[in-house]
Structure 1
């Protein structure tokens, strides 16, 4: 049946929230890194041009002769979700001083570290756990590699909640086992050079790193002051374990870093701060790998984020980003426009 060209279906409440959500997010891309890292805001010391060049060279941006300083700096800004100016402005200078992992961000296009998909990204080849759906993965903790700041029970509770965040949006369940050797996901706290080619660097800087599917290694820096309750842990450099756990599990599942600052997969975290909830960008990215948990309601998350952003005065012009995952296409089917 044909509809009259000037007759439109009414906009539903869900359509309204979804359209506002699109207006709240302007498209960006970011090249993610492996292993992952969280960092803190540095003090704003002067950063001279030679130091910036050393930083860009160390992390892969100036390793090709045909790349200018301005091009390398622009790529760095793009990867971190900063305003792309090609100049060493204040935002860029502050990020140059941020502690971070030693894995290079920008590499030759034939061996690019991650493939970009809108704001969320994947590992090369888009690896995922390739077992039957619904998928069940086991995880275990190294009893020889724990942290003195928390009890085993506290660590277990934190990771149980963190795994539940991801399990609520995809058809994947996570089951703890005591057998560390055979577990799919192996979790431990390690110090310095611990044999995986990615040594930790002490207090603050690189807090954790994880490897792509189906490796399953999830390592946290033992030197950090790990916390589950900031009321009890008063250290100024305390790091929230659940926030880091949620982020690292995203890497375990195959996600790279997002340029969306509210996303769990954004690469930085300040001391004494929490980011334990999944953003729509996190959800759409992981669902494109594993499908949708039939009990998950995306419209509720969209409405929640939209109302929060509108309340914060964050309404901005959008260029109409539409994610191309099956789950979101089904959602778009309900937009009675």
Structure 2
């Protein structure tokens, strides 16, 4: 009986220890149970003009953040009514991403909107640059369509700055510095630019680091999922990862590849805007668990911008 009693006590103690470890693991890894800031969109599926549904105001804020809406002093800016302006904004979003332009939040539109993405707007100052442009090439009568885009004014680095230095905010993990260096090498191999790491972060042309929430640049991060990173156009040079994301080196389930995001944000640092080509590195949405390289559209875009 004494043996059975000791065995039962040992089993109970072991079970308690396992439950404690499980509780600690859950608390220590908030990514396990996190929900995307864009998750509210899922229950708006099927909404259209005339609807009044809780959460539509969040949709308005989403589309305003990425440049599709500007209510100013409009009466419906703070309510949950699906009005004319919102319908037009949804239609413009659908056109930019080659979706059926109905103005209704169909499944494909919601799925695209919910994808984790770069924080830069698709439309700046009311001008959408994601429209395709037909170009004739000197190969017989072949026509191709380019989907790369430039922000208004085509900001770019002057001809005296084709060699750019980059630096990392102190404390940047070595996994990230290596991934970013590889991304710069990829861009260097496909452009007229050369890059080197500066010894002093403050003196670098391009400054890279990890930030959380509101970090003082006017583009606050939103926690796990949602906005992953952002960068500024020439000649600002700032590039920030969201430190709250689950980052990885290479393709890992539930994590975002550091090098893939670096390739995208470096494109912005050089002057490219978002592309409407799904497979382009400059496409705004970047899913977890994948890696991407430069697309022909990205290379064509940078060459067109710098006329090389």
Displacement of 1:55 in angstroms is 1.4
Displacement of 1:67 in angstroms is 5.0
Matches within 5 A, 1:232-243: 236-243=253-260
State how far apart, in whole Å, the 1-side matches of 2:279 and 2:119 are.
24
State the SS of the aligned residue for 1:187: strand
Q: How many residues align?
A: 240
State how far apart, in whole Å, the 2-side matches of 1:220 and 1:140 are.
14
Displacement of 1:238 in angstroms is 1.3
State how far apart, in whole Å, the 1-side matches of 2:151 and 2:288 are.
27
Tell me, yes or no, if the aligned pair for 2:37 and 2:222 is still in contact at 8 Å.
no
| 1:128 aligned partner | 156
Tell me, yes or no, if the aligned pair for 1:81 and 1:260 is still in contact at 8 Å.
no
Residue 86 (structure 1) aligned with residue 103 (structure 2): yes
Deviations 1:103-140 (A, max 9, x none): 6555654xx3658563111122101010337x100001
Higher Rg of the two aligned structures? 2
Displacement of 1:206 in angstroms is 0.8
Of residues 169, 187, 191 in structure 2, which corresponds to 1:142?
169
Residue 218 (structure 1) aligned with residue 239 (structure 2): yes
Residue 63 (structure 1) aligned with residue 91 (structure 2): no
Tell me, yes or no, if the aligned pair for 1:79 and 1:259 is still in contact at 8 Å.
yes
Query: TM-score, normalising length from structure 1?
Result: 0.63
| 1:227 aligned partner | 248
State the SS of the aligned residue for 2:266: helix
1:291–1:172 CA distance, 2 compared to 1 (3 A): farther
Displacement of 1:164 in angstroms is 1.6
State how far apart, in whole Å, the 2-side matches of 1:198 and 1:108 are.
16
Tell me, yes or no, if the aligned pair for 1:82 and 1:92 is still in contact at 8 Å.
yes
Q: Which runs of 5+ in 2 are unaligned?
A: 1-35, 75-82, 134-146
Deviations 1:133-169 (A, max 9, x none): 7x1000011114x2xxxx42x3232112111221112
Q: Compare relative contact order (CA 8 Å, sep 6+) and give the higher one, 1 or 2.
A: 1
Matches within 5 A, 1:189-208: 189-208=210-229
| 1:261 aligned partner | 278
Tell me, yes or no, if the aligned pair for 2:119 and 2:230 is still in contact at 8 Å.
no
Residue 252 (structure 1) aligned with residue 269 (structure 2): yes
Alpha-carbon RMSD:
2.9
Displacement of 1:289 in angstroms is 1.9
| 1:285 aligned partner | 301
State how far apart, in whole Å, the 2-side matches of 1:93 and 1:156 are.
34
Displacement of 1:101 in angstroms is 6.5
Q: Which runs of 5+ in 1 are unaligned?
A: 1-38, 293-337
Query: TM-score, normalising length from structure 2?
Result: 0.69
Tell me, yes or no, if the aligned pair for 1:59 and 1:106 is still in contact at 8 Å.
no
Tell me, yes or no, if the aligned pair for 2:131 and 2:276 is still in contact at 8 Å.
no
